[in-house]
Structure 1
Amino acid sequence: MVSDVTAEPPTIVIGHRNPDTDAICAAIAYRDLLALRDQTDAVAARAGLTRPETRYLLERFGVPEPTLIEDMRQRVRDVMTAPARTVLHSDSLYEVGLRQIDSGMRPLPVLDGDGRLAGIAEAQDFAKVFFQGLDPSVADQVPIDFDNLVRALDARVIVRADDRPVRRTVMVAAWNIESIKERLQPDIVLVVGDRLDVQRAAIDLGVGMMIVTGGTPVESKIVAHAQSRGVAILTVDHHTATTLRLIHMSVPVSIIMRRDPPSCSPDDLVDEVRGLLGSERALSVVDDARRVVGVVTRADLLRRARRQVVLVDHNERSQAVEGIEQAQIVGIIDHHRVADLITDQPPMMRLEPVGACCTLIASLYREANLTPSPSMAGIMVGAIMIDTLLFQSPTTTAEDRATVAHLTEIAGIDAERLGRALVEIASDVSNRNAQELVLGDFKSFAIDGHRFGVGVIETGNSASVLARRSELNRALADIRGAEYTSTMLVVTDIVSKRTTVLVNGHAREIARALGGHLRGPDTIDLAGVYSRKKQIVPALSRVGGLIRR
């Protein structure tokens, strides 16, 4: 029997949009911890493209990239019942009816000979057959399917005559022998009791099949006569009325199914499908080849739990994956400010002012008395090194340093060498256009009624980035549009230890808030500023007041 219960989807561990190395590695490492500690079924995910330096780090330690999830809104695949109970267009009404009863009277998708959706069979279709009967103009044109008939009647086959055509016209031997002889036609079905004269006459006149009711045995001479004339004989235990009803139930379901019913894709949004289910009891879920992969009902929409999500390296709605409000946030692990996410249940939270989210993940391993694998330790080292700018960022803490020292022993690597390799890869901007550079590590912040967009590039060669100032400024203007008060790109050179900020919108006010030197209309030079989280974002809270002046 096919189960009607879909397994609960795994918990998703995911970082912010435009993910950096720390966001991706934190998701991977925490998923690994959940599997070790709690045997939790979880999936590491990313909310955007993987950067070159992140890809290098994962390949270096043989770790696959996380699943790409750019939209957390519920899809049909999240709520549908799968695999679906289906029937074939050639299955009898009797068999389909039994399956409907077994499925709780759910509508059943009907498949054609190639396994594609052909129609749907619903309880109301069977009710019409029961009260109104089959349309003779349609049913009489459908040949008898011998095996369907045997199963519907639970019949015993006395004589099988596969080469004999049998019409669906059914006659009951309810008259005297002379009247019956007048009415008998070739190749029809005759329902008869223990009347030897009628049985013999029917065979002589060339009926296609005799169904003997009431459990009556058939005499050997009748059997021999039928075999010689190619007439099929079945015996049943039912009385005549039941036999007639079951004969009607042996027709294929294609006779009564609703053809070309509405359907949906597993990738359709639940909100879009909800409207269709206002007029349909169920929708077949089909793939691109029209093969049924599931069924979704109104009840599915009501009872299915939302996706459970653990957010790492962020806790701000504007930075979270699209549709996060439709998920259930069960955990937040972050090292940034507390922002505006609202949950309906208290999640597990771990927020500490350290330099990288992977520092917090490593501490959770220690608290659970678990040791990460060398590959997990290696990617966490790389994430911490690049997120703290090789320990040069003001966000760096003693805990970050101690964590890297501990993890490098497990991974057997040189943290400084790994960090510099990652920075070198991140510094190569030759294959990225201006918009990709701005949006590569871009976050939105809603502060004091204003919205700021801040992109970050951390490089060992800022000159190669700033040489493209004109196209970067155009990209900032395009991104700003009417959505942001200001957009900016923070370019930090970890070799020269200088930071340059390109700004579109209110550059003068932002320069004052940051305490920087405004060079030209859109460029700010900063000294000793390396951290968006600890230095740039807090200063933006002063920009609104400066604009109002």
Structure 2
Amino acid sequence: MILTLYVCGHRNPDADSILSAVATAELCRVTGHAAVACRAGSVPADAAWVLKHFGFDFPQLLEDARLSLQEIQLSPAQSCRAIDTIFDALQSMNDPDRPYLGVTDEEGRLLGMVTRNDLADIGMQDTALGIRLLQTARLEDIARTLSGTVAVRPEAPLHIDGRVSIVAWSDHSVSRYEVKDRIVIVGDSPEAQLKLVEQGAGLLVLVWTDRVDPAVRQAALEYGCPVVISGHGSMNTSRYLYFSVQIRHVMTPDPVTFRRTLFVQEAIREMRRHRYRAYPVVDDEMHLLGFLETDAALNFQERKMIRVDHNEDGQSVKNGSLARVQAVIDHHRVGGFLSREPVFYRCEILGSTCTIVARLCLEAGIPLRPAMAGLLLSGMICDTLGFRSPTTTETDRQLAEYLANQAGVDISWLEQEILSRGGSTDLVQDLESDLKQFDVCGHDVRIAQILTGDASRQELDALLDAMEDYVAASGTELLVTAVTVLPLGGSYLLAAGELAWALSDVTSSRMQLRLQEDLLSRKKQILPLVSEKLG
């Protein structure tokens, strides 16, 4: 079984995170690996424009790294209807490795479950159980189960008490048999059949014959005794009678079920409490989708992921540490990343993750189609602020020229189109749009960056209020927000939290605005500054 690689950037993704995930997923597919691009948050406006302009689909939203039941291969949804007979159910259990069936209504909604052991128990229980079950049998079900036909069908309803008698014709009179309301199996003697009807048999089952004598037929109609001609001999007829009972009378109602959105790890915890062989998986309307078998659940493999534009667990998709990380492609600091197995790790001091992905494509000898070249170039422009960020390297600039040529676009035009869409129009609303979590000197620190074309004192004051609310709700020790004003080529730093005092000489306050000129990069300037102040 080929497991899909899920390529995902960090939470609160920026354009580089989104676009590098799309490009890396395509690189994986070109090199023969099943891969899908994901995102751990909303697509920002600049990335959305790039995707639409170059003809790429939005990455799928991944809210949790754990696999849900709807994402793994389940055992087939083999089932029978509640009105099917035990015989029907046994015929459906044709796979010896899956001795169970879901029991559904006419719309496919789960009502119960039945196993081969449940059906075997019927033959091993006391006689009273068999009697109670046969009292519920329907005439048509009996005839069908016996591969027979209903030869006489009186108007009176079927009246059987569940007991079965096999009558052998002999020199002795059949009057010695107690047959009232019983199911009576009898041979081809019309005389014996007639006497049994007159003695009040509830149902006559004929064996070794294919006709009913006219006198017997007339008496059966008068006494209200149906007659069934069986397709089997006496022994098999007596055995199969008990298989004519409908499954609804022997199923386990309301079994332990799992919704398809349940995570596999949560299902395993529940399975350890019950220890059944298989569990039905249903949708929100209880339609049966398949079965989760215990052996398969305990041996399942976690989601295989590639992290792009980040490496730290705290920045990854929720429960990212539970996934099997196969690769990391990043241009940030290495911060507490641990893996359970060796991984491909590519981290370079470059302006964007898209730069690294482009280099990987070229190193692998994979030609970049124009749309892919344009997408990678756009990611580089976004993350380097049009190559003005101090994180920009000569490698970024040279590769940008190459990608522009491959894409057939003008860098200046593309930069103008992208950056005009990337600026914030509501600082408060965008506080969490590009926020990352760090462990700095043992402290919980979160740094947000908001790009904008302008920022008034009133807007910064409102943003500071929102930051204080965020700190109170999250409990983080320090929240730093860099409001980067692109036309001014610098940033206003705001801080909230119990450690905000440590940055008081560089941050703006309600009383004083301080534009930090040329402060544009979170990873190369702001994070090192925070680390220095807290250290």
TM-score, length-scaled by structure 1? 0.85
- The corresponding residue for 1:360 is 356
Aligned length: 521
**2:20–2:376 Cα contact (<8 Å) kept:** yes
- The corresponding residue for 1:541 is 531
Indicate whether 1:250 and 2:251 are aligned: no
- The corresponding residue for 1:261 is 255
SS of the residue corresponding to residue 500 of structure 1 reads: strand
* CA deviation map 1:444-502 (0-9, x unaligned): 1101111211100123x1335x5401111011112223632211111222322122111
SS of the residue corresponding to residue 81 of structure 1 reads: coil
Indicate whether 1:44 and 2:30 are aligned: no
Distance 1:452 1:219, change over 3 A: closer
**1:189–1:209 Cα contact (<8 Å) kept:** yes
Q: What is the rounded CA distance, in whole Å, between the counterparts of 2:454 and 2:332 in structure 1? A: 26
Indicate whether 1:71 and 2:67 are aligned: no
Give the letter aligned to residue 356 of structure 1: S
Give the letter aligned to residue 247 of structure 2: V
SS of the residue corresponding to residue 83 of structure 2 reads: coil
Question: Which is worse superposed, 132-141 or 527-536?
Answer: 132-141
TM-fit CA distance, 1:98? 4.6
**2:180–2:201 Cα contact (<8 Å) kept:** yes
Structure 1 unaligned residues grouped into runs of 5+: 1-6
- The corresponding residue for 1:15 is 9
Q: What is the rounded CA distance, in whole Å, between the counterparts of 2:215 and 2:353 in structure 1? A: 87
Distance 1:46 1:369, change over 3 A: same
- The corresponding residue for 1:525 is 515
Give the letter aligned to residue 383 of structure 2: D
- The corresponding residue for 1:287 is 283
Give the letter aligned to residue 103 of structure 2: V
Question: Which is worse superposed, 222-231 or 264-273?
Answer: 222-231
TM-fit CA distance, 1:147? 5.3
- The corresponding residue for 1:476 is 467
Indicate whether 1:34 and 2:25 are aligned: no
* CA deviation map 1:130-168 (0-9, x unaligned): 221563674244232535653x44x3x466567876555
Indicate whether 1:90 and 2:83 are aligned: yes
Indicate whether 1:178 and 2:173 are aligned: yes
- The corresponding residue for 1:439 is 432
From 41, 49, 55, give the equivalent of 1:62.
55
* CA deviation map 1:338-389 (0-9, x unaligned): 1212111111221111111111111222222222333322222211111110
From 484, 489, 493, give the equivalent of 2:481.
489
Distance 1:517 1:274, change over 3 A: closer
Q: What is the rounded CA distance, in whole Å, between the counterparts of 1:371 and 1:99 in structure 2? A: 53
TM-fit CA distance, 1:305? 0.9
Give the letter aligned to residue 286 of structure 1: V
Distance 1:48 1:180, change over 3 A: farther
SS of the residue corresponding to residue 447 of structure 2 reads: strand
Give the letter aligned to residue 174 of structure 2: S
SS of the residue corresponding to residue 404 of structure 1 reads: helix
Superposed counterparts of 1:128-527, under 5 Å: 128-133=121-126, 135=129, 138-144=132-138, 146=140, 149-150=143-144, 152-153=145-146, 155=147, 157=148, 166-167=158-159, 169=162, 170-174=164-168, 176=170, 178-179=173-174, 183-184=178-179, 189-193=183-187, 195=189, 197-199=191-193, 201=195, 211-213=205-207, 216=208, 218=209, 222=213, 231-237=227-233, 239-240=234-235, 242-277=236-271, 278-281=273-276, 282-429=278-425, 432=426, 434=428, 436-459=429-452, 461-463=453-455, 467-481=458-472, 483-505=475-497, 506-510=499-503, 516=506, 524-527=514-517
| Root mean square deviation, CA, Å | 3.1
Distance 1:422 1:111, change over 3 A: same
**2:111–2:253 Cα contact (<8 Å) kept:** yes
Q: What is the rounded CA distance, in whole Å, between the counterparts of 1:253 and 1:416 in structure 2? A: 73
SS of the residue corresponding to residue 383 of structure 1 reads: helix
Q: What is the rounded CA distance, in whole Å, between the counterparts of 1:310 and 1:219 in structure 2? A: 71
Q: What is the rounded CA distance, in whole Å, between the counterparts of 2:198 and 2:132 in structure 1? A: 29
Q: What is the rounded CA distance, in whole Å, between the counterparts of 1:390 and 1:494 in structure 2? A: 10
SS of the residue corresponding to residue 437 of structure 1 reads: coil
Distance 1:112 1:158, change over 3 A: closer
**2:169–2:189 Cα contact (<8 Å) kept:** no
**2:206–2:230 Cα contact (<8 Å) kept:** yes
**1:19–1:49 Cα contact (<8 Å) kept:** yes
**2:130–2:242 Cα contact (<8 Å) kept:** no
Q: What is the rounded CA distance, in whole Å, between the counterparts of 2:124 and 2:98 in structure 1? A: 18
Question: Which is worse superposed, 306-315 or 192-201?
Answer: 192-201
Distance 1:537 1:162, change over 3 A: farther
SS of the residue corresponding to residue 462 of structure 1 reads: coil
Give the letter aligned to residue 415 of structure 1: I
Q: What is the rounded CA distance, in whole Å, between the counterparts of 2:463 and 2:199 in structure 1? A: 94
**1:11–1:309 Cα contact (<8 Å) kept:** yes
Q: What is the rounded CA distance, in whole Å, between the counterparts of 1:60 and 1:219 in structure 2? A: 78
TM-fit CA distance, 1:79? 4.7
Q: What is the rounded CA distance, in whole Å, between the counterparts of 2:229 and 2:214 in structure 1? A: 8
Q: What is the rounded CA distance, in whole Å, between the counterparts of 1:224 and 1:523 in structure 2? A: 111
Q: What is the rounded CA distance, in whole Å, between the counterparts of 1:263 and 1:159 in structure 2? A: 40
* CA deviation map 1:20-71 (0-9, x unaligned): 1111111111111211221x22211100011122212212222221111111
Distance 1:441 1:346, change over 3 A: same
TM-fit CA distance, 1:256? 0.8
Q: What is the rounded CA distance, in whole Å, between the counterparts of 1:379 and 1:484 in structure 2? A: 35
Question: Which is worse superposed, 226-235 or 79-88?
Answer: 226-235
Give the letter aligned to residue 109 of structure 1: G
Indicate whether 1:24 and 2:18 are aligned: yes
Question: Which is worse superposed, 525-534 or 266-275?
Answer: 266-275
Structure 2 unaligned residues grouped into runs of 5+: none
**1:500–1:523 Cα contact (<8 Å) kept:** yes
**2:45–2:422 Cα contact (<8 Å) kept:** yes
Percent of aligned pairs sharing the same letter: 28
**2:427–2:459 Cα contact (<8 Å) kept:** no
SS of the residue corresponding to residue 87 of structure 1 reads: strand
Q: What is the rounded CA distance, in whole Å, between the counterparts of 1:523 and 1:128 in structure 2? A: 82
Distance 1:97 1:382, change over 3 A: same
TM-score, length-scaled by structure 2? 0.87
**2:143–2:229 Cα contact (<8 Å) kept:** no
SS of the residue corresponding to residue 60 of structure 1 reads: helix
